[in-house]
Structure 1
Amino acid sequence: MIIETKIVEKPAFTVIGMTETIQPDSCKPPSENAIAALWGRFGMRMQEIQNQLGWRSYGLMLQKPDSGMGAPFDYTAGVQITGECEVPEGMERIEVPAARYIVLTMRGPLDSINDVYKHFWGSWLRENAYEYDGGTRTGKYEFEFYDQRYTSPNDPNSEIDVYFPIRAK
C-alpha cells in the first residue's frame, strides 16, 4: 500500500554494491526472484564495505531508454558510503547524480512492491505534469531505498521508499 507520495530534490551520493543484469520473471514473487537472490549474496558480503553511512541500502536500477515492460535491466544491491574506500572484488562504485524525484513510500510485505511500479508507470506519470528523467540517456537511476523502517520481506509494517527521477514536461 502506498502511504506517501512526495517530490524531492536529492543531492548526489555514492553507493558500492553488486550489479547484475536482471531478466524480469513474473512467475516468481519479488521475495523469491533474481533480485532477492542478488540481495542474499550481497548481504553476505556487506561487511566488506568500509565507510558505510548508517543503515542505508539501495536497489539501483538503470533503464535503457526504449525498454518496455519485461525488458532486462541492470540492478545494483548496494550501500551508501562516505568518503573514499577500496571497492571489494566483484563489486562496483556508483556515483548517483543529483536529481528531482517522485518518492512513493510503500508499507507492506515485499511482494507488494510491484504495485508501486504499476502505480508510477500506469497512472502517476499520466496524471501529473512530469515525465520520467532516468535511464542510460540521462545517467539517473531509479531506486529502492531501505532503512530501519524495512524490517523483513514478510512484515506488513515494513516500509520502502521508491524513487523515480522526473522532470517537468
Structure 2
Amino acid sequence: MEVRIEILPETNLVGQHKTMTFSDHNPFELWRNFMPIKATISNAINTDLYSVEVYPEDFFQNYSPNHPFEKWAAVAVTDLGTVPESMETITIPSSLYAVFTHIGPQAAAVKTYNWIFSEWLPQSSYELDHRPHFAIMGEKYKKDQPDSEEEIWIPIRTL
C-alpha cells in the first residue's frame, strides 16, 4: 500500500458528532441523521464527506474498546460563519498526516487500519500525534462495493 505524507492546511468542518466506543461502535445512526440535512450546509467546499474521530489524549496508550471518543459526520466548509441549526463545527489544525487509500468495501477497512497501526507506523520514522483522525469519502467512495475508495488520514509527527 502506498503512503503519502502531507501537511494538511487548517480545515473547517460542519457536521454532527456522537460519543461512542469501539465496543458499541455504530456510526450508521450518526450518518443516517446527518445525510438528509447536509444539504442545509450552504458553504461546503465540495461533496466529500469526512468521517472524523477525536480521541482523548491517552486513548492509544491505555487502549480499551470501552474508552469513549467522538465520531463526526461532516463536510469541509469555506468558513464557520454559517452553521445550520442542529450542526456543530470542528477545526482540524494544519499539521502532518500520513495518507492511505483504502480500496474495497467499508467493512474491510479494519484490515487497512490494522496494517497502518501494526506494520506501517512501527516501521516508519513517525509516531502517532494527538490530533483528529479522519477518512475522506469522495467521488470514488461506494460504501460496500469492492472498487470503493476512501482516504484515511492519520496524524503523525517525526520521531
1:142 and 2:142 matched = no
> What CA distance in whole angstroms lies between the structure 2 residues aligned with 1:87 and 1:7?
31
Equivalent residue for 2:128, pick from 132, 146, 149: 132
Structure 1 outlier segments of 4+, above 2 Å = 83-86
> What CA distance in whole angstroms lies between the structure 2 residues aligned with 1:94 and 1:116?
25
> What CA distance in whole angstroms lies between the structure 2 residues aligned with 1:21 and 1:111?
21
Q: 1:34 — aligned with what?
A: 26
Q: 1:12 — aligned with what?
A: 10
Which residues of structure 1 form unaligned runs of 5+?
27-32, 135-139
Q: Report how many aligned residue pairs link the two structures.
A: 155
Which residue identity is paired with 2:153? Y
> What CA distance in whole angstroms lies between the structure 2 residues aligned with 1:24 and 1:57?
21
Give yes or no for contact 1:51–1:85 (8 Å, CA) kept in 2: no
> What CA distance in whole angstroms lies between the structure 1 residues aligned with 2:68 and 2:117?
17
1:66 and 2:58 matched = yes
| CA RMSD in angstroms, aligned pairs only | 1.5
Q: Percent identity?
A: 28
**TM-score normalized with structure 2 length:** 0.91
Secondary structure, in 3 states, of the residue corresponding to 1:52?
coil
Give the C-alpha shift of residue 12 in structure 1: 0.6
Q: 1:158 — aligned with what?
A: 148
Give the C-alpha shift of residue 56 in structure 1: 1.6
Give the C-alpha shift of residue 4 in structure 1: 2.9
Give the C-alpha shift of residue 23 in structure 1: 1.7
Which residue identity is paired with 2:125? A
Which residues of structure 2 form unaligned runs of 5+?
none
